[in-house]
Amino acid sequence: MPETNVSFKLCDILLPREQIRKRVAELAGMINSEYRNERLVLVGVLKGAVIFTADLARMIEDSIDVRMDFMAVSSYGNSSSSSGAVKIIKDMDTPALNQNIILVEDIMDTGLTLSYLKDMLMARNPKSLKTCVLLEKPERKKVECAIEYRGFEIPDEFVVGYGLDYAGRWRNLSDIWRVVEG
């Protein structure tokens, strides 16, 4: 991975782990009431949503037949802002046809990536397709994209932790931190 000339450092905690855990449980509760006794495919967007997807899956009731799958896209690289271009690096293995799918994303910045993925998955004729996004930055939105399950709205700041990274660093942090240049 190429190095950049800009470096970042942790500033302060934006969302503490207890608040994240509580909200993930609330999102799982909404999913539980909607999909009870059904089959559901959670499609996590790698790498940022892997922790969120795993925590969400563990909180979904046993009455729901949950499958997990993943997609990997590239739109950020080492940059702190979206490039706008989306490239599929890994597609989901589960056929989408007639499946209840929840697309699980770590953060919606501009909406371009999520909108692209939703359009692509809708073309595969799922039974239903909804989105579950941990973080949304409304100020950065460039395209409208419905989010059925939203964790938190956050200000337009660069954040890391709970799966989010900067150049591969800080995904492992349990809290979500603001980072600043420095």
Q: How many CA within 13 A on the CB side of residue 119?
A: 10
The Cα–Cα gap between 10 and 165 comes to: 11
The Cα–Cα gap between 113 and 67 comes to: 23
What pLDDT digit, counting tens, does each position of 102-161 carry? 999 999 988 999 999 999 999 999 999 999 999 999 988 888 889 999 999 999 999 999
pTM, to two decimals: 0.90
Whether the predicted pLDDT of 177 surpasses 50:
yes
Whether the predicted pLDDT of 84 surpasses 90:
no
Mean pLDDT of the chain: 91
Whether the predicted pLDDT of 164 surpasses 90:
yes
What pLDDT digit, counting tens, does each position of 12-62 carry? 999 999 999 999 999 999 999 999 999 999 999 999 999 999 999 999 999
The Cα–Cα gap between 53 and 43 comes to: 8
The Cα–Cα gap between 176 and 159 comes to: 6
Q: How far is CA 33 from the centre of its chain?
A: 21
| Domains parsed from the chain with CATH numbers | 18-156 (3.40.50.2020)
Whether 167 and 9 have beta carbons less than 8 Å apart is answered as no
The whole-number pLDDT of residue 77 equals: 46
The whole-number pLDDT of residue 1 equals: 34
The Cα–Cα gap between 112 and 132 comes to: 15
Give the three-class secondary structure for 5: coil
Q: Which two tokens stand for residue 96?
A: 């989408």
Cis, bond preceding 47 (omega within 30 deg of 0)? yes
Q: For the packed helices 17-35 and 50-58, what is the interaxial angle rounded to 10 degrees? A: 60
The Cα–Cα gap between 88 and 73 comes to: 5
Residues with active-site annotation: 109
Whether the predicted pLDDT of 83 surpasses 60:
no
